[in-house]
Amino acid sequence: MRQLCKGNVAVVKAAILAGCRSYYGYPITPASEIAEYSALLIPQVGGTFLQAESEVSAINMVYGAAAAGKRVMTASSGPGVSLMQEGISYLAGAELPCVIVDVVRGGPGLGNIAPEQSDYFCAVKGGGHGCYRNIVLAPASVQEMADLTVLAFELADKYRNPAFLLTDGFVGQMMEPLELEVKDVKEYEKAWAVRGTAETRQNFVSSIQLEPDALEAHVRKLEAKYKACEAAEIRYETYMAEDADVLLVGYGIVSRILRSTIDQARAQGLKVGLFRPITLWPYPSKALAEAASKCQKVMVVELSTGQMVEDVRLAVNGAVPVEFYGRVGGNVPSVEEIYAELCSRVAAMV
């Protein structure tokens, strides 16, 4: 049965369906509903919700719960995610699975509470110290907030790695129809977990490797794991990209606006298509390069001054020109605005 549901609430419900019974977090707009609904719902199914004293503490509680073998989640936004970065580096170093939801707001600093996509770097490029990667999924609808939350838990366990749901104030705050079903969520054996039992007594969770050779071996092992993830977990979506002269690239809420822009452009006879990465890491570079190779121009639209565009440029590798259009501060470009940008850039192209 379809229910009208807020994006942030969909995350919590999907997490419960995915077997998550542990939530540790600290409230921040526009992610607070995730904490609120976790507090309301998770204890009713026998789970743990705890509001930590800070994001620093919250992410280290996530570390503890993950070390204990639990499916665990936290959620935050911009300034809070900055505070969590130390812990995320430790989670990655200790190979602990967890799901971190970042409902991005305007930055830097306190910024504002309106939607942006300016946490791309800190989710996709690491953010904390050391050579590590987060798995990063970017939902564009309430339904995807749920579906990708379930996927995030599975991928986190599969790769023993933190997985991000990178979304924004719009997708988090909007309501749309949501269809949920009880799924058989894949369980992963966690023989490595430290549970305080005779069977797990020998287990040890840590990210410290004092010997240079040992640490190098560990980092190389992580690197191999990331390569395997890159080979298997790429997800993206295209819309009218087959015969497009101009390829629009955007993720999350922007991809929705681009879809409407494309409908408008096509009605005017402009051959425009969409490439929408769903996994921001691993990034669908090959697929994007291939889609771009059939076009004359690529235009990236983001709610930032240009973060993902760097990955697009790397993927396209100079084969076609890459334009960028971004709005920040919580300003979300309208279809009309993007269409006008598109027309002026297409005109420049011809």
Partner 1 sequence: MSEFQILHEKSPVFYDVYERKSEMQHQTHYCPGCGHGVAHKLIAEALAELGLQDRAIVVSPVGCSVFAYYYFDTGNVQAAHGRAPAAATALKRSNPESIVISYQGDGDLAAIGTAEIVHAANRGENICVFFVNNSIYGMTGGQMAPTTLVGQVSTTTPWGRRANNEGFPLHVSEMLATLEAPAYIERVALSNAKNVMKARKAIRKALENQKNGNGFSLVEILSPCPTILKMDPVVTRHWVDETLTAAFPLGVYRDKKAEIPVVLPPQKSVEAVVGISAKPAATLEERAARHAHTRELSIKIAGFGGQGVLLLGQLIAEMGLREHMEVSWLPSYGPEMRSGSAHCHVNLSHERIGSPLITRPQVIMAMNEISLRKFASTLAPGGLIIYNRDKLPEGFTAENARIVCVPASEIADGLGSAKVANVVMLGALLEETECLPPETVVQVLKDTVRNEKMLALDMKALEAGRMYVHSKVQVGAVSGPDGFSY
243-282: which residues touch partner 1 (CB under 8 A)? 253, 256-257, 259-261, 263
What letter represents residue 65's amino acid? A
Choosing from 27, 36, 68, 233, the residue that interacts with partner 1 (CB under 8 A) is 68
- Of the residues 25, 80, 81, 90, which one makes contact with partner 1 according to CB under 8 A: 90
CB distance 69 to 43 below 8 Å: no
Question: What is the spatial distance between Cα 44 and Cα 104, in angstroms, rounded to a whole number?
Answer: 28
Given candidates 54, 305, 317, 344, which one binds partner 1 under the rule CB under 8 A?
54
CA-to-CA distance for 33 and 86, rounded, in angstroms? 24
Which residue of 185, 205, 289, 349 would you call a contact of partner 1, by CB under 8 A?
A: 205
What residues between 101 and 130 interact with partner 1 by CB under 8 A? 113
63 sits near partner 1 (criterion: CB under 8 A):
yes
Length of the chain measured in residues: 350
Give Cα 163 to chain centroid, integer Å. Answer: 7
- Least distance (Å) between residue 203 CB and partner 1: 6
- Is there binding between residue 325 and partner 1 (CB under 8 A)? no
CB of 132 vs partner 1, minimal distance in Å: 14
Indicate the Cα dihedral angle 279, 181, 77, 86, nearest 10°. -70
Encoding tokens for residue 91? 């989670």
Rule CB under 8 A: is residue 309 a binding residue for partner 1? no
Asked whether 103 and 318 are in contact (CB, 8 A), the reply is no
Residues 185-204 that bind partner 1 (CB under 8 A): 194-198, 200-204
Q: Decide whether 56 or 289 has the Cβ nearer to partner 1.
A: 56
Among 27, 79, 176, 341, binds partner 1 (CB under 8 A): 176
Residues 6+ apart with CB under 8 A from 75: 8, 11, 25, 31, 34, 35, 38, 100, 101, 102, 103
Q: Closer to partner 1 at the Cβ: 121 or 204? A: 204
